[in-house]
Structure 1
Amino acid sequence: MQLTGAQIVLECLKEQGVDTVFGYPGGTILNIYDELYKQQDDFLHIRTSHEQGAAHAADGYARSTGKVGVCMATSGPGSTNLVTGIATAYMDSVPMVAITCNVNLPLLGKDSFQEVDIAGITMPITKHGYIVKDVKELATTLRKAFKIAKSGRPGPVLVDITKDVTQKSCDYKTVTLSEEKRKITYNHDDILTAIKMIKASKRPFIYVGGGAVISGASEELKNFAHTVDAPVCDTLMGKGAFDGTDELYTGMIGMHGTKTSNFGVSECDLLITLGARFSDRVTGNAKTFASKAKILQIDIDAAEINKNIRTNFAIVGDLKEVLSAINEELPVMNHSEWLEKISDYKKKYPLKYETDKLTCPYIVEELDKLTKGEAIISTDVGQHQMWAAQYYKFRHPRTFLTSGGLGTMGYGLGACIGAKAGNPDKLCVNIAGDGCFRMNMNELATASKYNLPIIEIVINNNVLGMVRQWQTLFYEKHYSQTIFEDKVDYCKVAEALGCAAFRITKKSEVVPVLKKAINAGKPVVIDCIIEEDDKVFPMVPAGASISEAFDAGDLASKK
Structure 2
Amino acid sequence: MVTSGRSHGREQRRVVDYLVDAVAALGVRNIFGVDGANIEDLYDAVFDADVDVTGVVAKHEFSAATMADGYARSSSGLGVVAATSGGGAMNLVAGLAESYTSRVPVLALVGQPPTTLEGGGAFQDSSGRAGSIDAARLFFEISRYCARVERPEDIAEHLERAVSAALCGGPAVLLLPKDVQQATVTGPRFTPPTRRVVRDHIGLARVAEMIAAARRTGKIVLIVGDQVARNDARAQVRALAVALDAAVGVAPDAKDCYAADEHGFCGVAGIMGHAELVDAVQQAALCLLVGTRMPMTARAGLDGALAGVPVASIGAEPPYAPTVHAVSMDLGSTLDELTALFDVDGVPEPAGPQALTTLEVPDSSGPGLRYREAVEAITAMLPAGADVFADAGNTGASVVHHLSVPRGGRFVVALGMGGMGYSFGAGIGSAFARNRRTFVIAGDGAFFMHGLEMHTAIEHDLPVTFIVFNNNAHAMCVTREQLFYRDRYSFNRFRPALLGEGIAAMFPTLPAFAARSVGELTDALARSAHTEGPSFVAVDCDPDEIPPFLPFLTSPR
User: TM exceeds 0.5?
Assistant: yes
Q: Specify the alignment match of 1:327 in structure 2.
A: 339
State the match for 1:142 in structure 2. 159
Q: Given the superposition, is the C-alpha separation of residues 18 and 350 from structure 1 closer, same or farther in structure 2, using an over 3 Å criterion?
A: closer
The separation in 1 between residues aligned to 2:358 and 2:274, in whole angstroms, is 8
**1:77 maps onto 2:87 in alignment:** yes
User: Partner of 2:13 in structure 1?
Assistant: 3
SS in structure 2 at match of 1:97: strand
Alignment of 1:199-218 (within 5 A): 199-218=215-234
Whichever residue aligns with residue 474 of structure 1, its letter is F
Say if 1:468 and 1:479, in contact at 8 Å, map to a contact too: no
Q: CA deviation at 1:381?
A: 0.5
Residue number among 319, 322, 326 corresponding to 1:310 in the alignment:
322
Distance verdict in 2 for CA 1:239–1:201, change over 3 Å: farther
Partner of 2:99: 89
Q: CA deviation at 1:334?
A: 11
**1:237 aligns to what?**
253
Quick check: 1:430 aligned with 2:445? no
Question: What's 1:124 paired with?
Answer: 141
Following superposition, the deviation at residue 419 of structure 1 comes to 1.1
More displaced stretch, 86-95 vs 1-10: 1-10
Judging changes above 3 Å, is the alpha-carbon distance between structure 1 residues 259 and 473 closer, same or farther for their aligned structure 2 residues?
farther
Q: Is this contact kept in 2: 1:266–1:291, CA < 8 A?
A: no
Q: Which amino acid aligns with 1:265?
A: V
Q: Which amino acid aligns with 1:128?
A: Y
Instruction: Report Cα offsets for 1:230-289 as digits up to 9, x if no partner.
Output: 221111222111112124112211112112223433453421111110202222378645
Deviates more, 1:111-120 or 1:76-85: 111-120
CA distance in structure 1 between the partners assigned to 2:277 and 2:504 by the alignment: 39
Which SS does the other structure have where 1:145 is aligned?
A: helix
Structure 2 counterpart of 1:416: 427
Are residue 155 (structure 1) and residue 165 (structure 2) matched? no
Once structures 1 and 2 are overlaid, which stretch shifts more, 221-230 or 260-269?
A: 260-269
Q: 1:365 aligns with which of 376, 383, 387?
A: 376
Contact 1:240–1:398 (8 Å) recurs in 2? yes
Q: Residues 232 and 332 of structure 2 are in contact (CA less than 8 Å); yes or no, is this contact kept in structure 1?
A: yes
Question: Counterparts of 2:397 and 2:192 in 1: how far apart (Å)?
Answer: 40
**Contact preservation (8 Å) 2:252, 2:270:** no
In structure 2, do the counterparts of structure 1 residues 258 and 12 end up closer, same or farther at CA, with 3 Å as the change threshold?
same
Question: What TM-score, normalized to structure 1?
Answer: 0.88
Is 1:19 the counterpart of 2:19? The answer is no
Instruction: Kindly provide the amino acid, as one letter, of the partner of residue 197 in structure 2.
Output: R
**1:280 counterpart residue number:** 296
User: What letter corresponds to residue 292 of structure 2 in structure 1?
Assistant: A
Give the number of aligned pairs.
533
Name the aligned partner's letter for residue 180 of structure 2: V
- TM-score if structure 2 supplies the norm length? 0.88
- Where 1:254 maps in the other structure, the secondary structure is coil
What corresponds to 1:466 in structure 2?
Answer: 476
Between stretches 271-280 and 469-478, larger displacement belongs to 469-478
- Is 2:281 aligned against 1:265? yes
More displaced stretch, 189-198 vs 498-507: 189-198
Q: Does 2:490 align with 1:480?
A: yes
Distance 1:328 1:437 in 2: 47
Change (3 A) 1:478 1:290: farther
The CA deviation at 1:81 is 0.8
In the TM superposition, what whole-angstrom CA distance separates every residue of 1:510-535 from its partner, at most 9, and x where no partner exists? 22110111212332111101122222
Q: Please say if residues 98 and 157 of structure 1, whose CA atoms lie closer than 8 Å, have aligned partners that are also in contact.
A: yes
Contact 1:255–1:540 (Cα < 8 Å) also in 2: yes
Give the drift of 1:408: 0.8
**In the alignment, what sits opposite 1:544?**
none
Matched, 1:223 2:233: no
Structure 2 distance, partners of 1:204, 1:178, is 38
Query: What amino acid sits opposite 1:471 in the alignment?
Result: E
The question of whether the paired residues in 2 share the 8 Å contact of 1:186 and 1:316 is answered with no
* Candidates 101, 115, 122, aligned match of 1:112: 122
- CA–CA separation in structure 2 for the residues paired with 1:472 and 1:232: 36
User: Given the alignment of the two structures, is residue 528 of structure 1 paired with residue 528 of structure 2, yes or no?
Assistant: no
Q: 1:189-208 residue pairs with structure 2 within 5 A?
A: 189-190=205-206, 192-208=208-224
**Cα RMSD (Å):** 2.8
SS of equivalent residue, structure 1 residue 28: coil
Please tell me whether the aligned partners of residues 382 and 406 of structure 2 are also in contact (alpha carbons under 8 angstroms): no
Task: Report deviation, 1:226.
Answer: 2.4
CA-to-partner distance for each residue in 1:67-90, whole Å, 9 max, x for gaps? Answer: 211110101111111111111111
2:72 matched residue in structure 1: 62
Shift of 1:484: 0.9
Whole-angstrom CA distance in 2 between matches of 1:372 and 1:34:
38
Aligned partner of 2:173: which letter? L
* Equivalent AA in structure 2 for residue 516 of structure 1: R
Q: From the superposition, tell whether residues 351 and 288 of structure 1 become closer, same or farther in structure 2 (CA, over 3 Å).
A: closer
Q: Could you tell me how far 1:379 is from its partner in structure 2?
A: 1.6
Q: Distance in 2 between matches of 1:287 and 1:450?
A: 46
Residue by residue over 1:312-337, the C-alpha shift from the partner in whole angstroms, topping out at 9 and shown as x without a partner, is x221123222221111121569999x
Match of 1:253 in 2: 269
Amino acid aligned to 1:219: A
Where do 5+ consecutive residues of structure 1 fail to align? 542-548
Secondary structure of 1:125 counterpart: coil
The residue number in structure 2 matching 1:511 is 522
Q: Summarize the alignment of residues 168-179 of structure 1 with structure 2, pairs less than 5 Å apart.
A: 168-177=183-192, 179=194
Name the residue aligned to 2:8.
none
1:133 aligns with 2:146: no
Do the aligned partners of 2:254 and 2:412 also contact (CA within 8 Å) in 1?
Answer: no
Does the Cα contact within 8 Å between 2:441 and 2:467 map onto a contact in 1?
yes
User: How far did 1:131 drift?
Assistant: 0.9
1:505 Cα deviation from its structure 2 partner: 0.6
* SS of residue in 1 equivalent to 2:254: coil
* In structure 1, distance between residues paired with 2:473 and 2:489: 9
Within 2, Cα distance between the matches of 1:417 and 1:172?
Answer: 36
Asked whether the 8 Å contact 1:431–1:457 carries over to 2, the reply is: yes
| CA drift at 1:495 | 3.6
Check the 8 A contact 1:29/1:74 in 2, yes or no: yes
Seen in structure 2, the aligned counterparts of structure 1 residues 8 and 514 have a Cα distance that, compared at 3 Å, is: same
**Shift in Å, 1:502:** 0.4
Deviation of 1:175 after TM superposition, in Å, equals: 4.1
- Judged with a 3 Å threshold, the aligned counterparts in structure 2 of structure 1 residues 335 and 41 are, in CA distance, closer, same or farther, namely closer
Deviation string for 1:427-449 (max 9, x for gaps)?
A: 11100101111101221221212
Distance in 2 between the 1:257 and 1:364 partners? 15
